[in-house]
Structure 1
Amino acid sequence: MAKREAGAVQPIPQTAQTTTTASGRERLSIGVFLALAFGLPWLVTLPLWLGDGLAHPWFPVISIAMMMTPAIAALVAVFGIERPVRPWRALGIVPLKPVGRLIAYLALAVVVPVALVFLALPIGALFGVYSMDLVNFSGFQAMLDEQLAAEGVGNLELPIPVAVLVLLQLASIPLGAFLNLIPALGEELGWRGWLLPKLLRLGTVPALLISGAIWGLWHAPLILLGYNYVDAPGWLALTMMTGMCVLVGAVFAWLRIRSESVWPAALAHGAFNAAAGSYLLFAAAGERVDTTQATILGWTGWIVPLIFVGVLLVTKQFSPPKPVELPADLPGQLPGQPAQPHSASPSSTP
């Protein structure tokens, strides 16, 4: 019988009881997270429901406060229930390396969501559900005229052409993405930062569907007041919002998984919000845009994201990146000695 070495630390066996306890704590943390993530928005938006709805003067502040609720729910779940050794890693805040990979996905986070928003417009025009005016920008011009008339200066002529104003609006989208980063992080810290990695144990497709559906239904307090879908009945508006969130959420999930960080997903969310209203720049005057059919919110706008997500699934782009191996014969390493692998996976040290 082998003699036990004095002073050696023996590993603690993983018993059925400890496994059950860990599993029970995880189920509890998910339950508390969902209860807070869905309950707090109704509490925050209560002034809208008791007051003037989306016309409430505090609507911008209330909407931003609502965006913070998933982050609050995730922080309670992590620090109040789970209490992991590396809590910020569990939320996707760290690691911030490899730096090159993180920067690459941050760049994609700005480009891809904006491209999806813009591509939805000509596709809607091809299907006849969105009328574009790329010459005179008549819809945008009419909107400016209405704003000037409301301010009592309806006869004032704009000092610069409307086309230049459109270009300035488009040029401001990347800046808007970064300005929206913190409010967007309030959502992404919960949805893609903390919840998505737990759902991935169910499989990639189920995780994408469930996390996207949860994100979509979370919008109910605002959607049922007419947000995004002004003319649609509540059930249809919430259904359309959930469908859009499943597809766009899958794109955010791809950025989260491949970068192993929540920051690209948060920046993508910020870029998406900055670009989402750009359909007003290109719409023809005199027609009301039905967002259940047109723009990224409507079914015609889902075609490109659906294809994009399908390509990501087929090419296995929802798999975590491979660990990075250091080259052999590094300084301080004996010649011919195998290099020790350095992993950038979630189990590595930040």
Structure 2
Amino acid sequence: MRALWTYLGISFGVSWLVALPLWLGDGIDEPLLPVLAVAMMFTPALAALVVVRFVERRPLARALGLTPVRPWGRFLGWLGIALVVPVALVAVALPVASVLGLYEADLVEFSGFRETLDAQLAAVGGAPLDIPVQVLVIAQLASIVLGAVINTVPALGEEIGWRGWLLPTLVDRYGTAAAVVVSGLIWGLWHAPLVLLGYNYPDASPLLALVMMVGFCTVVGAVFSWLRIRSGNVWAPALAHGALNAAAGMHLLFVAAGTTVDTTHATILGWSGWIVPLALVAVLAATGQFRARQPEPTATP
């Protein structure tokens, strides 16, 4: 238990210290927000490194989920799954919200996206773009893959802690089902320094925003936990986390002009966006996909 409490103390304590300038300054309007948010993402990895090195005194690579990565074909296959699944979940959340009357889309003129672009250009004294907005939408969608790869670097700072070290530690102590749920709850609560300031859920009260973030992290965290358990390493959930972050703003491309998107209800962050991930997790659990894969037998001469 000493290792677990040390990990939680460092990951939560340092994250609050990193976010302190936001609380003492202008909150999420603080210019330092992007830098501090990225720095905060590395606090779970820092906590895991300290615990493994100084408390458990185990080899770092395996204890943090950085190995094994062989056979390479299997490793690359799981990376492919990790890239596709989160983007698909973000995308499917939009028609679900639309059917429920929580999101109004414009898939022809992309009027909301154009409105945003024109406003941004006007703010810097630029003229409206004469490029077809459809071309820009396609470019934005295509950039998700590159964004996922880039975002994997800070995402790895979180995943080394949450799914690299914490999840297996909880599995060993409490079993897989409890570990998946508890690690998701902890992951959600860890976001408090930003969420309580209005990040992610600007239309919700601070308490509701934190509850929603905990729910979101528990649901999506279960998908990331599946990737960790089945792939056998932390690289798949790290790429999935990066892909999720890269695709998270997809709703801005398709929203109709003059409408607002309440992330408490719509998008992958809102309750309607959890429907499909919950169904996926239920299917995975029912088919035994949360059981750790068995090591492949070593060929004997």
So what's the TM-score if we normalise by structure 1?
Answer: 0.84
Matches within 5 A, 1:150-169: 150-153=123-126, 156-169=127-140
The corresponding residue for 1:132 is: 105
- Rounded to whole Å, the distance in 1 between the matches of 2:178 and 2:297 is 31
Identity of aligned residues (%): 60
Residue 38 (structure 1) aligned with residue 12 (structure 2): yes
Residue 226 (structure 1) aligned with residue 202 (structure 2): no
How much has 1:313 moved relative to structure 2? 0.3
The corresponding residue for 1:68 is: 42
- Rounded to whole Å, the distance in 1 between the matches of 2:78 and 2:17 is 35
The corresponding residue for 1:235 is: 207
Instruction: Choose which of 103, 110, 119 in structure 2 pairs with 1:146.
Output: 119
Give the match's secondary structure for 1:287: coil
- Rounded to whole Å, the distance in 2 between the matches of 1:284 and 1:57 is 29
- Rounded to whole Å, the distance in 2 between the matches of 1:204 and 1:325 is 24
Q: What per-residue deviation string (whole Å, max 9, x for no partner) do you get for residues 26-49 of structure 1?
A: x11111000011111110011101
Matches within 5 A, 1:1-350: 27-84=1-58, 86-153=59-126, 156-201=127-172, 202-326=174-298, 333=301
Structure 1 residues 311 and 174, CA, compared in 2 at 3 Å: closer, same or farther?
Answer: same
Q: What per-residue deviation string (whole Å, max 9, x for no partner) do you get for residues 233-268 of structure 1?
A: 011100011101011111111111111110111000
Which of the pair has the greater relative contact order for Cα pairs under 8 Å at 6+ separation? 2
Residue identity in the other structure for 2:252 = L
- Rounded to whole Å, the distance in 2 between the matches of 1:57 and 1:290 is 24
- Rounded to whole Å, the distance in 1 between the matches of 2:36 and 2:283 is 37
- Rounded to whole Å, the distance in 1 between the matches of 2:267 and 2:253 is 12
- Rounded to whole Å, the distance in 1 between the matches of 2:128 and 2:216 is 39
Gaps of 5+ in 2: none
- Rounded to whole Å, the distance in 2 between the matches of 1:291 and 1:157 is 28
Q: What per-residue deviation string (whole Å, max 9, x for no partner) do you get for residues 152-185 of structure 1?
A: 12xx241310011000000000100110111000
How much has 1:325 moved relative to structure 2? 2.5
How much has 1:326 moved relative to structure 2? 4.5
**Structure 1 stretch displaced more, 278-287 or 196-205:** 196-205
Give the match's secondary structure for 2:182: helix
The corresponding residue for 1:345 is: none
The corresponding residue for 1:11 is: none
- Rounded to whole Å, the distance in 1 between the matches of 2:232 and 2:71 is 10
Gaps of 5+ in 1: 1-26, 334-350
Number of residue pairs matched by the alignment = 300
- Rounded to whole Å, the distance in 2 between the matches of 1:136 and 1:149 is 20
How much has 1:323 moved relative to structure 2? 2.6
How much has 1:322 moved relative to structure 2? 2.3
- Rounded to whole Å, the distance in 2 between the matches of 1:207 and 1:323 is 21
Give the match's secondary structure for 1:144: helix
